[in-house]
Amino acid sequence: MNNKETIVAALHSRFAGKKVLIWGLGREGKASFDFFAANFRQLELETLAVSDLNPEPCAECLEKAEAYGIAVSSYSAAAYPPDLSQFDLVLKSPGISCKNYVYEAKATAENSFSAPCLQIAPQTEITCQVDLFLQIYGQQTVAVTGTKGKSTTTSLLYHLLDCAEQKSALLGNIGIAAFSRIFDLGKDVAALELSCHQLEFTTHTAKVALLTNLYPEHLDHYHNLEEYYQSKINLIRQPAGRQWVILPAYEDNLLQRAVPVLQQEQYVFYLCRNQNDLANLQKYYDVLPRQELKKKAYIFTFSAEKNELTFSGISLENCSENAEQSNVAALEENSWSKCTLQFSAQLQILHMKLDSVLAVMATFAYYCEQKIAAGRSLVLPELWAEFQAEQKEHIISCLQEFTGLEHRLQYVGTYGSHPVYNDSICTIPLAAIKALTALPQCRTIILGGLDRGLDYTELYDFLKQHEYNVIGLPTTGHTLTAQLAVGASAAELKRYYQAKDMAEAVNLAYKITAPGKGILLSPAAASYNTYKNFEERGRCFVAEIKRQAPASGASGVSGAETK
């Protein structure tokens, strides 16, 4: 599908004669408006409206509408939000939270899935740009979601998919609106990063779906934590024909919610690190009423020590409890089943290495789909061997050359003998623990940000058990360092600090960090109480590190306490 007329025609029945509202005018909302304004007449919309609390983007849309010669209504400032019940369809932008609205489930046929509606507007369809994109391009999309790791995984996946046989496009939550390629994607495969906000009202899905993990996050956006988790699961809830699903067998929170919704049309590739992962996975399948799903659940194993990814085509059905050892041992006997990988320095960090292996598995899944679509039989061991023969060199090249993304355990450089890392993307406590575990040379952490009601007990316990210097920023950083100081010894008090801003935090970090030890920004909180976004926070940290480095030669400070 590569021409405007075909794409507009595919959406015509969904929009013709409808009163449409674009709710929220961030990057994605503006791209949606441009599409509907340009194709207003072809789609035969009855009306088009825009709404954003900020009047400026609304004014920009009205100016564009005048150039297109169409009438557009605007709801902003005091008129925000509008009465949603007056519209047939609302295209919600990711930044808009429905936490203040009551959800109402729609009646659906058995085993079908429909996005919820809002109680105040039960007849109004709530959807989003991603759902429209997947309606058109789902068959040529590899989508990635999860609480953490999705941006790095999607970025790497984009490079893995981009080879001599095909071209790829990097789209979605990573910063490039899906509609930016709506008319010129052609036959390119979309590597699409999806946030929970983009999936909340999405009913269409991708040909290949990769989920990295599920951890507590975004409690400020949802009514409860389970609602957040289930928005992620929407990616695999309703496959349109054959779908390939990639899941880590070591993420219990994810398996608990993903396995029960799997359907017969889905081929599932699980990544196991060891026998414990395999045994744990078996437990989730053993309680399923449909045991036939085991036939399409396949096991990949990965040795982080040997960098070996192994697949022999064994399904979970063949990995019975009594045969686990023999089946896994059989994987080791087939030389064709092993794929030895090589990773860049950035990907040597264990959880990033595992995420990159998931990306390789997703690339193989899309390879299988293309071969089957071309008439090949679905014999996975043969396809795995061919995949290695054709693409292993390209895969290793991508893994070796991948330098990572800014703000994601980014190595900034060494300043005043201190290796410095920017992990500003870290917005939850568990991610900060993972960062410190992955970087044992880092002995000073700068953390803190917007308080969204997350539970910091696990991070508190971790910091109490290890001798890290902790510098807290407002608000959560101040709360956490104050808690750490309660009952602390005199020696411990010299490790806990509060800073009013990033400049003071970096100044303290240079003073208290021992020579040769690292400094890490891993906030474990959102940035919105001080910064526009995590990118601005990360850039501020890097700027202060560089600005203060020349005058920060001394290490060690005496008598410091939490202020």
Contacts of 181 (CB under 8 A, 6+ apart): 169, 171, 188, 190
Distance of CA 423 to the CA centre of its chain: 15
CA distances from 343 to 435, 451, 529 (A): 18, 36, 37
Pairing mode of beta strands 297-303, 89-92: unpaired
CB 147 within 8 A of CB 214: yes
Over residues 447-462, mean pLDDT: 96
pLDDT in tens, 384-417: 999 999 999 999 999 999 988 899 999 999 999 9
Secondary structure of residue 202 in the 3-state scheme: coil
CA nearest neighbour of 448 among 375, 515, 502: 502
Q: Are 176 and 101 in contact (CB under 8 A)?
A: no
Segment 150-175 mean pLDDT: 92
Q: How confident is the model at residue 509 (pLDDT cuts 50, 70, 90)?
A: very high
Q: What percent of the chain has pLDDT over 70?
A: 93
3-class SS of residue 180: helix
**Model pLDDT, residue 288:** 87
Q: What is the dihedral of CA 14, 18, 21, 26, to 10 degrees?
A: 30
Q: Are 35 and 10 in contact (CB under 8 A)?
A: no
The whole-number pLDDT of residue 113 equals 66
Query: What does pLDDT average to over the chain?
Result: 91
Give CA–CA dist 192/198, Å, rounded: 11
Give the position of tokens 């990995």: 319
Say if strands 117-118 and 168-172 run parallel, antiparallel, or are unpaired.
unpaired
What average pLDDT does the segment 132-139 reach?
Answer: 96
Q: Report the DSSP beta bridge partners of residue 310.
A: 301, 338
Q: First CA to last CA across the chain, in angstroms?
A: 61
Cα 112 versus chain centre, distance: 25
* pTM confidence score: 0.87
